[in-house]
Structure 1
Amino acid sequence: MSFPHPDEVTARLAEFGPPRQIGRSRLGEPITMVSIGNGPRSALVFAGPHPNEPIGFLTVPRLAESVTRDDLGFTWHLIGCVDPDGARLNEGWYAGPLSRERYFRGFYRPPFDEQVEWTFPDGMPETRALRAVIDEVRPDLMCSLHNGEVGGVFYYVSADRPGLADALADLPTGIPLHVGDAELPGTQRIRPGVFLFPGHEFVPGMSSVHYASQYGTFSLVVEVPLWSDPRSSDTTSSGLPRADVFAEVADMIDDVRKLPELPAVPDSPLSRSFLEVQPAAERFANAMRAHQAEGEATVAERFGLRQIAHMIRLRACATALRIVDGEHRQAFSELFDKWFAEEDSVAEPIPISKLVDTQVGAILSAAKS
Structure 2
Amino acid sequence: MIPDDLTKYLTTIPDWTEIPTVDGLIDQLEKLRAANGDLCRWRRYGTSRLGDPLRVLSIGHGERNVLILGGPHANEPYGALTVSHLARLVIEHAELRDDLTWHFLPWANPDAARMNEGWFAGPRSIRDYHQHLHRPAPVDDVDFTFPHFSENGYYDRPLPETQAVMRILEDLRPVFQYSLHNCDFGGVFYVLDHDVPGLAEDLLAFTGQTAVPLAMDSAAVAGLDSPGKGVYLLPPAELIDGGIAEAGATSGHWAAQYGTTTLVTEIPMWNDPCAADDADSGRTVGEVFGQAATEMAEASDLLADLMAAVRPALRCGSPLAASAESLVRLAPLLGQGMRAAAEAMDERPAAVGEAFVGAITPHMIRMRGLGQLRRLLRAELATGNQAPVLRATVRKADALFDQACQAAGMVSEGNPFPLREVVAVQVGAGLVALRRILKEAR
Interval containing the TM-score (normalised by the shorter chain) = over 0.9
> Aligned-residue CA RMSD in angstroms?
1.6
Amino acid at match of 1:31: L
Q: Gaps (5+ residues) in structure 1?
A: none
1:347 to 1:88, Cα distance in 2 relative to 1, 3 A: same
Structure 1 segment 139-178 matched on structure 2, within 5 A: 139-171=174-206, 172-178=209-215
2:83 to 39, 60, 64: 60
Higher mean C-alpha deviation, range 236-245 or range 147-156: 236-245
Are the equivalent residues in 2 in contact too, given 1:190–1:196 (CA < 8 A)? yes
Amino acid at match of 2:271: S
Alignment correspondent of 2:300: 256
Are the equivalent residues in 2 in contact too, given 1:48–1:81 (CA < 8 A)? yes
Moved over 6 A (4+): none
1:181 to 1:318, Cα distance in 2 relative to 1, 3 A: closer
Alignment correspondent of 1:104: 130
Amino acid at match of 1:96: G
1:321 to 359, 364, 374: 374
Q: How many residues align?
A: 369
Q: Does 1:183 align with 2:228?
A: no
Alignment correspondent of 1:281: 331
Amino acid at match of 1:107: L
CA distance in 1, matches of 2:97, 2:231: 25
Are the equivalent residues in 2 in contact too, given 1:72–1:368 (CA < 8 A)? no
1:141 to 1:182, Cα distance in 2 relative to 1, 3 A: farther
Alignment correspondent of 1:269: 319
Alignment correspondent of 1:4: 20
Are the equivalent residues in 2 in contact too, given 1:251–1:285 (CA < 8 A)? yes
Q: Secondary structure at the match of 2:220?
A: coil
CA distance in 2, matches of 1:308, 1:166: 30
Are the equivalent residues in 2 in contact too, given 1:180–1:300 (CA < 8 A)? no
CA distance in 2, matches of 1:273, 1:179: 28
Shift, 1:72, TM fit: 4.3
Amino acid at match of 1:214: Q
Alignment correspondent of 2:382: none
The one-character-per-residue Cα deviations of 1:150-204 (angstroms, maximum 9, x if unpaired) are 2111111122223221221222220111022451454112222111122213334
CA distance in 1, matches of 2:201, 2:417: 23
Are the equivalent residues in 1 in contact too, given 2:200–2:229 (CA < 8 A)? no
Amino acid at match of 1:26: R
Q: Does 1:211 align with 2:254?
A: yes
Q: Secondary structure at the match of 2:41?
A: coil
1:8 to 1:200, Cα distance in 2 relative to 1, 3 A: same
Q: Secondary structure at the match of 1:151?
A: coil
What is the TM-score normalised by the length of structure 2? 0.80
Amino acid at match of 2:327: V
Alignment correspondent of 2:357: 304
Q: Secondary structure at the match of 1:42?
A: strand
Greater helix proportion: 2
Are the equivalent residues in 2 in contact too, given 1:185–1:202 (CA < 8 A)? no
Q: Secondary structure at the match of 1:190?
A: coil
Higher mean C-alpha deviation, range 151-160 or range 161-170: 161-170
Q: Secondary structure at the match of 1:183?
A: helix
Alignment correspondent of 2:71: 48
Alignment correspondent of 1:358: 425
Alignment correspondent of 1:13: 29
Q: Gaps (5+ residues) in structure 2?
A: 1-16, 34-39, 148-156, 243-247, 379-390, 437-442
Are the equivalent residues in 2 in contact too, given 1:182–1:195 (CA < 8 A)? no
1:117 to 132, 140, 143: 143
Q: Secondary structure at the match of 2:268?
A: strand
Are the equivalent residues in 2 in contact too, given 1:10–1:32 (CA < 8 A)? no
The one-character-per-residue Cα deviations of 1:299-355 (angstroms, maximum 9, x if unpaired) are 112212433322211100000111225211111112111221111112111110112
Are the equivalent residues in 1 in contact too, given 2:62–2:101 (CA < 8 A)? yes
Amino acid at match of 1:177: L
Are the equivalent residues in 2 in contact too, given 1:176–1:228 (CA < 8 A)? no
Alignment correspondent of 1:195: 232
CA distance in 2, matches of 1:232, 1:308: 12
Are the equivalent residues in 2 in contact too, given 1:239–1:297 (CA < 8 A)? yes
Alignment correspondent of 2:116: 90
Shift, 1:50, TM fit: 0.8
Are the equivalent residues in 1 in contact too, given 2:190–2:232 (CA < 8 A)? yes
The one-character-per-residue Cα deviations of 1:38-88 (angstroms, maximum 9, x if unpaired) are 222211111111111111111112111222222243211111111110011
Alignment correspondent of 1:26: 49
Q: Secondary structure at the match of 1:104?
A: helix
Amino acid at match of 1:201: E
CA distance in 2, matches of 1:158, 1:307: 29
2:345 to 293, 298, 314: 293
1:316 to 1:160, Cα distance in 2 relative to 1, 3 A: same
1:223 to 1:18, Cα distance in 2 relative to 1, 3 A: same
CA distance in 2, matches of 1:180, 1:365: 22
Q: Secondary structure at the match of 1:289?
A: helix
Higher mean C-alpha deviation, range 69-78 or range 127-136: 69-78
Shift, 1:118, TM fit: 0.8
